[in-house]
């Protein structure tokens, strides 16, 4: 009898239709991967796709094109997953349903440090960008949260959004001030600034993977603690959760993932907002499930946006950062109107 009760209790802890949601996301992920490999300036047929993926001895043009797109597709996967998880962590830490790296100014902070590195330190490699972007993202996150926490009511969702908007405006002005008198820096920076995975290669993947693994591991470890924080600090402390440590680790993981993605792909906005909000509507607020599912959703959204950009910009391509902003901005307005600035 005790085993039956315990089993029933565990089942109630699982979100409804979780298995169906996971299966659907995995199917969409596979479809988006195949689309990313098959569609572009040249559309690849099924035979060429199979040859490029499984027959290394085949040297045809279509097979070669598929192999060249593999690095871009893998980079898009981990970049989208990183931004999805970053959004989930930031929303959980701030208890703000519309928190996102682009909205809280974290992307702009990363951009400022990257443009400073290009202008004043002559840094031109992705490995140099990544550390500058992470430092800039972390300092901006601390600044925004500090400003948003001022006053008797603490860090309310509205105050955090206003602090993020003000910080973004200030940092964007600094970026512009640095770029205007330096045309050579502007030429190098403007392609990165839009946000794109088009220039991704295996070096980008190899640089990104260690940061991605560390950020994901921390996110998974702190997920139960973030669930406790959603009940309030006093309740979480009563449950034995070290609230300060959990917040610091979760924020560090979120900024690490966002900073690394921004450094290598540019400031791609709204992925974290879209992925996290979509998954929360389907499976609920449990962070243990929210983090891995937001990673899947973020990867799917970015890959599909990238493929759509290839079609819309044909014979060239439209950068994925433009597509996500075009889709994400109206959705943000809708979420804001319906959420009424409630905390999670």
Q: What is the residue-level pLDDT of the chain in tens, covering all 344 positions? A: 334 333 433 444 576 788 899 999 999 999 999 999 998 878 888 888 888 888 777 787 888 888 889 999 999 999 999 999 999 998 888 877 777 777 788 888 988 998 898 888 888 777 788 889 999 999 998 898 888 777 766 666 667 778 888 999 999 999 889 888 887 777 777 767 777 787 788 988 999 999 999 999 999 999 999 998 888 778 878 878 888 888 889 989 999 999 899 888 888 888 988 899 889 888 888 999 999 999 999 999 999 999 998 888 777 788 888 888 887 777 767 766 665 544 45
Instruction: Kindly list the domain boundaries of the chain, sorted by start residue.
Output: 61-339
DSSP-derived secondary structure for 25-75: HHHHHHHHHHHHHH-SSS---HHHHHHHHH-TT---HHHHHHHHHHHHHHH
Tokens of 136: 């800039």
Domain 61-339, CATH: 1.10.3470.10
Distances (CA, A) of 40 to 8, 69, 139: 49, 9, 38
Tokens of 76: 């898009």
122 prior amide bond cis, ω within 30: no
């Amino acid at each position: 009898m005790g085993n039956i009760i315990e089993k029933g209790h565990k089942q109630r802890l699982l979100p409804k239709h979780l298995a169906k949601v996971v299966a659907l996301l995995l199917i969409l992920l596979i479809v988006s991967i195949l689309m990313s490999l098959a569609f572009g300036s040249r559309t690849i047929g099924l035979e060429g796709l199979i040859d490029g993926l499984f027959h290394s001895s085949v040297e045809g043009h279509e097979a070669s094109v598929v192999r060249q797109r593999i690095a871009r597709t893998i980079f898009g996967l981990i970049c989208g997953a990183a931004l999805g998880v970053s959004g989930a962590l930031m929303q959980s830490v701030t208890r703000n349903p519309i928190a996102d790296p682009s909205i809280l100014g974290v992307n702009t902070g990363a951009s400022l440090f990257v443009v400073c590195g290009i202008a004043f330190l002559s840094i031109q490699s992705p490995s140099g960008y990544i550390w500058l972007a992470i430092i800039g993202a972390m300092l901006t996150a601390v600044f925004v949260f500090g400003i948003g926490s001022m006053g008797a009511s603490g860090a309310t969702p509205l105050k955090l959004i206003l602090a993020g908007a003000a910080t973004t405006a200030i940092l964007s002005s600094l970026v512009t001030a640095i770029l205007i008198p330096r045309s050579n820096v502007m030429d190098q920076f403007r392609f990165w600034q839009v946000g794109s995975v088009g220039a991704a290669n295996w070096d980008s993947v190899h640089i990104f993977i260690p940061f991605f693994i560390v950020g994901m591991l921390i996110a998974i470890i702190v997920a139960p603690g973030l669930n406790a924080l959603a009940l309030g600090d006093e309740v979480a402390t009563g449950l034995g959760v070290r609230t300060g440590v959990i917040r610091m680790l979760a924020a560090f993981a979120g900024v690490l993932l966002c900073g690394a993605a921004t450094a290598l792909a540019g400031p791609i906005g709204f992925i974290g907002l879209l992925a996290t909000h979509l998954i929360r509507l389907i499976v609920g607020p449990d962070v243990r499930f929210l983090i891995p599912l937001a990673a899947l959703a973020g990867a799917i959204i970015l890959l599909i946006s990238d493929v759509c950009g290839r079609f819309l910009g044909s014979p060239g391509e439209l950068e994925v950062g433009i597509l996500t902003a075009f889709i994400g901005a109206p959705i943000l307005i809708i979420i804001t109107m319906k959420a009424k600035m409630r905390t999670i």
